[in-house]
Structure 1
């Protein structure tokens, strides 16, 4: 396949809420354009894009996928994305590499949470929007109501470019308001039969066309002057002005369609061609490259040095690691040498692949503006930049919301720890919304994700691909212990075994330090009561004993220990004896110093619609939260509070329930504070039971 002119490429991310029919619409687009000879269905598991076992079983898209079609001498790259909130990072990661977001709206449920979220993200990123109102054949699918909702949410940028012919089960075609013609469909071939506008729609079509012409005229001064003078705009003038308005982001055209019956899909393809090409975004900015400001402007030019961005990594059973990349500048061929800006290492391109869902086709080269796949790169993953070694640059890495929920995991089969760890690390390369870490404080392996569903899908993949299973547990809270008052104690270790004995004797005084000040050791020995070479052993014994406090076995913090006296034996004393003496002294002193349990307190920021603020404040108060302030953020509000970590472990599903999925939150550790006595007893009992079971 020869290089494609950037002006003949359309890169489109298909986004929207779960259940809007995005994957079915991509299927219809591919079928209508002749990229496949059979129209698959989500129900049967036969679509091009949903080929993963989990996707077929759950009947929803889980990972972003890539396909392409040829239409009217243009290459249309389609990135199908999930609409389920648990996997929304896949859609967020696709937007930076496209020029157009095809926002799919369910004609019955209208604008839902993720539709709104992704629309606004695309708008904020300068990505053009085209909307398809799908499922127009369903009961209670009324295009006029959907348009009212879209305008209420997104303003006057939303403009219908077509009207439906028929309603609900009678939906059979569309009136193209630009062409002033009707297109009706039979069967699933997807080729509309052109004809005049039906009599019963002439008045509605005239009104809708007038609104469309008003809006496109406003986007062009010359057209506006002509229009205000009472002159009719030609079809070509309207089409050209519409395309310019879409490219500028000032207008979002809306098309009614039915993907499963393939109605209006060919008109939608024509509408996508009116959107921006890579050539319409002639320059991109990246860091590096030798520019005076530390930044380099990259041209959408196949003759420029190469610069690619990896927006998705997948693992294929035949090809191994496959990276989906957008070529922003220059061109690549098989065996091109590039440098990874993150690692500084050179990578040599092997196979360049065209993706059609899970199917691949090797090509010899790819140029600026195109989206392709690269197989078997050594150490390149999602968010990396590959560029010409003569001009190394780096694009802004992808930014994703932090994980909202964490679980501790243990292998179901003893000895599978390494397999589990290796498998999850491989999966983490595919899924940037997943985090895997070992908590050195609780000695747990923790997996974090956007939701419990997200984590369950990850573990299903782990079982299927790597043959290992794990059990999920709530993560332990990293409690701490400290003391409230001064106390002193002697630690004396003496043991006689017939030969050389063991003897170590020390006196210490302990006292609390301000919260967060940590541990301090003071050597106050004088007169040689303990030889200098044994004092580090005393401290080592104390520090090791502090790893398990006397309350519930949690590490001890914020204490000062003063070693002020002791005794020794010239023959029987040793480092081991004084280490044991230090440990004994510490345990006695801590028991006398009113030991208490501490819990981590987090800074929490919750962002949600204003109407949910009362419920959120009440819920946080019930979680022992202390409000720290709030502020308006456009249509959303942010509440800041300090809440114990133990109260936030189950917060993610509760927030989703309260806000209908529109809320989000962040957690950041702030400080430790004493656990209320009525809760401390339960925590201590659970810790002792857990230790007894080990």
Structure 2
């Protein structure tokens, strides 16, 4: 395979709402460039991009798929992404390594829900972007309406380079950059290049002048040239458009019919000639704080943006060359963990098809197999060149479920499978809750969850079930209480004896020291589950030997790991041990541990104990006309709305909501807003559970213990 230099490699990612035609467009571009001899289709389940079994079964993209095409001595790397935001991790990682985002719009629908969601990520990464309005030859297509929806989304920096036109029942495209008309036969393919008809000259001239002005605005030299000449030639316009794209201030609009192969050649020509290459982008800042210059003469560094696990290949690692050149058999250091990896194989991937290469230069996208110590987000670099690229930031889980293997014999197998699924998709979060004794699975939505279940069943042969996760409550006290406990056990020989008198009180930051006690010692324990235990030695007269007090505290901590109300962790308590008894022969550490535990439990139950529930800081971004229903639902979930901000045509609600009430929220929010609202949720604090809710929770635990 031909090796391209850094000036002739362009990386684009296709994004857009579900059904806009990204996969068809990528297939047509490969066909137009003669990379493939026959175009596949989604209906026939034979496209290069959607090659996974689940994609063919469901007729939609699930994974981001790297491809490439070659057009007029340029190599264009394409990453075709899913259109549903359940698979947002695939989209984000692809945007991260692309140099230009191609946002595909369905000419029938204009900006859709998916377009709005994806735009927020494109805007965040500040990537160059162009729009492609697809399906212009569909009977329900409305190019002008679609263009207007783009202006509403991104503002006046969106500018037409093309618009569609029908002449004598033939599909045409007017190009106002080249000031030519492309006329297509019903079969599509290479168009007839004509002069713009007289009836369209006025409109085309107006759009051309708008494009000239937009191009000139982005370069001071071009602006002076524009004022001097009153216009710019085609090369100068290309220069200005590229500058505008690099500044994220200009978004060109093209139109195509991917299905009927109309306009794809011109689109590839623009990507070749105008879309920025990696070496023209601003250097990325490494974690070490130094810029990583995209230069071929620099030391080698590559960034891993995607990992997949295939039964016949094992782990396939996709990367972008950030600097220098990577060669076959190179030894590179993983700067994230210090391990050495050998690039034994080097490929260009087109779906499941692999083409071996001997080297790849900066900006190029490739793959290798069977790296032992490398995962998505890692950086591999030349020895002696320590550089670590900033990791990809993925959104928090929107759905959390407890996951169980239907057959207990598959539990270990399930754990291994979930590790591979997380490796492949970092938005799948897997963790075991020691507190609730549940294996928890976090993902982006119901469809994402169904995909994980499909993979477990069809790829790993594991049947699973999902359940509502238990809530990790906390227990604490509301008032002071005293208790004493005598532990005595005699069974021949040395027995066991200990007596402990203690007092417990609520603890909070800044509380004054307890009164009425002779404090001889104090230990502050920051509990691993959050909160504090403050343990005081208030023994006088040697009633208990000092060596037994650590055992008393161990007994207290043992009870705090499983509180008497709901078996939840106890937090924020202080304990004063002020009296007791011991025996010169029968007293020992275990006796005082038992006595301390029983005394603490008794005092805790007499101190008006209460439950604390975890609450989350919830941020909901919702269209203005849908705020009412969303707020009503939040109030039904005991959410407290703390503030509302406005941004564009959205309201951003800031709330505190009990974690127990967020179960199923993702699905409900989608239903209330037709999928247009988004939310994020992070832990906030523990707050008091309402009395009636606490009584019900304690009752449930009692019933469960009776059943056991």
Q: 430, 433, 456: which is aligned to 2:424?
A: 430
Q: Does the CA-based 8 Å contact 1:307-1:327 persist in structure 2?
A: yes
Residue aligned with 1:166, SS: strand
- Which string of whole-angstrom CA distances, capped at 9 and with x for unpartnered residues, describes residues 490-514 of structure 1? 3233344466544433333222223
1:344 aligned residue: 338
Q: What CA distance in whole angstroms lies between the structure 2 residues aligned with 1:299 and 1:491?
A: 72
Q: Does the CA-based 8 Å contact 1:243-1:274 persist in structure 2?
A: no
- Which string of whole-angstrom CA distances, capped at 9 and with x for unpartnered residues, describes residues 432-468 of structure 1? 2121112222122111112232222123222333222
Q: 1:171: how far off?
A: 6.9
Q: What CA distance in whole angstroms lies between the structure 1 residues aligned with 2:287 and 2:578?
A: 59
Q: 1:155: how far off?
A: 2.5
Deviating more after overlay: 369-378 vs 572-581: 572-581
Q: 1:95: how far off?
A: 1.9
1:3 aligned residue: 3
Q: Does the CA-based 8 Å contact 1:353-1:372 persist in structure 2?
A: yes
Q: What CA distance in whole angstroms lies between the structure 2 residues aligned with 1:626 and 1:318?
A: 52
2:388 aligned residue: 394
Q: What CA distance in whole angstroms lies between the structure 1 residues aligned with 2:555 and 2:220?
A: 82
- In the alignment, does 2:109 pair up with 1:105? no
- Which string of whole-angstrom CA distances, capped at 9 and with x for unpartnered residues, describes residues 130-175 of structure 1? 21111223342111111122123222322222222339x9673423
Q: 1:356: how far off?
A: 0.3
User: Are the structure 2 counterparts of residues 129 and 535 from structure 1 closer, same or farther at C-alpha, using a change threshold of 3 Å?
Assistant: closer
- Where in structure 2 are there 5+ consecutive unaligned residues? 510-529
Q: 585, 609, 616: which is aligned to 1:602?
A: 616
Q: Does the CA-based 8 Å contact 1:608-1:662 persist in structure 2?
A: yes
Pairing 1:452-463 to 2, within 5 Å after superposition: 452-463=446-457
1:466 aligned residue: 460
User: Are the structure 2 counterparts of residues 283 and 255 from structure 1 closer, same or farther at C-alpha, using a change threshold of 3 Å?
Assistant: closer
Q: Does the CA-based 8 Å contact 1:286-1:393 persist in structure 2?
A: no
Deviating more after overlay: 495-504 vs 679-688: 495-504
1:262 aligned residue: 261
Pairing 1:631-646 to 2, within 5 Å after superposition: 631-633=645-647, 636-646=650-660
- Where in structure 1 are there 5+ consecutive unaligned residues? none
- Which string of whole-angstrom CA distances, capped at 9 and with x for unpartnered residues, describes residues 78-100 of structure 1? 01112211112222222232221
Q: TM-score, normalised by structure 2?
A: 0.89
Q: Does the CA-based 8 Å contact 1:286-1:297 persist in structure 2?
A: yes
Q: What CA distance in whole angstroms lies between the structure 2 residues aligned with 1:189 and 1:48?
A: 20
- Which string of whole-angstrom CA distances, capped at 9 and with x for unpartnered residues, describes residues 32-79 of structure 1? 111111111122221111111222222222221100011111101001
User: Are the structure 2 counterparts of residues 392 and 140 from structure 1 closer, same or farther at C-alpha, using a change threshold of 3 Å?
Assistant: same
Pairing 1:369-408 to 2, within 5 Å after superposition: 369-408=363-402
Q: 1:352: how far off?
A: 0.8
2:33 aligned residue: 33
Q: Does the CA-based 8 Å contact 2:215-2:239 persist in structure 1?
A: no
1:649 aligned residue: 663
Pairing 1:292-303 to 2, within 5 Å after superposition: 294-301=289-296, 303=297
1:620 aligned residue: 634
Q: Does the CA-based 8 Å contact 1:284-1:328 persist in structure 2?
A: no
Residue aligned with 2:409, SS: coil
Q: What CA distance in whole angstroms lies between the structure 2 residues aligned with 1:248 and 1:485?
A: 61
Q: Does the CA-based 8 Å contact 1:6-1:277 persist in structure 2?
A: no
Equivalent residues, number? 688
Deviating more after overlay: 212-221 vs 223-232: 223-232
Deviating more after overlay: 237-246 vs 647-656: 237-246
Q: What CA distance in whole angstroms lies between the structure 2 residues aligned with 1:88 and 1:646?
A: 25
Q: TM-score, normalised by structure 1?
A: 0.91
Q: What CA distance in whole angstroms lies between the structure 2 residues aligned with 1:554 and 1:217?
A: 66
2:114 aligned residue: 114
2:59 aligned residue: 59
Cα RMSD over matched residues?
3.0
Q: 1:357: how far off?
A: 0.8
Deviating more after overlay: 227-236 vs 421-430: 227-236
Q: What CA distance in whole angstroms lies between the structure 2 residues aligned with 1:87 and 1:677?
A: 41
Q: Does the CA-based 8 Å contact 2:256-2:264 persist in structure 1?
A: yes
1:680 aligned residue: 694
Q: 543, 552, 561: which is aligned to 2:575?
A: 561
Q: Does the CA-based 8 Å contact 1:286-1:296 persist in structure 2?
A: yes
Q: What CA distance in whole angstroms lies between the structure 2 residues aligned with 1:32 and 1:517?
A: 64
1:588 aligned residue: 602
Q: What CA distance in whole angstroms lies between the structure 1 residues aligned with 2:401 and 2:687?
A: 24
Residue aligned with 1:406, SS: strand
Q: 330, 335, 354: which is aligned to 2:329?
A: 335
Q: Does the CA-based 8 Å contact 1:175-1:182 persist in structure 2?
A: yes
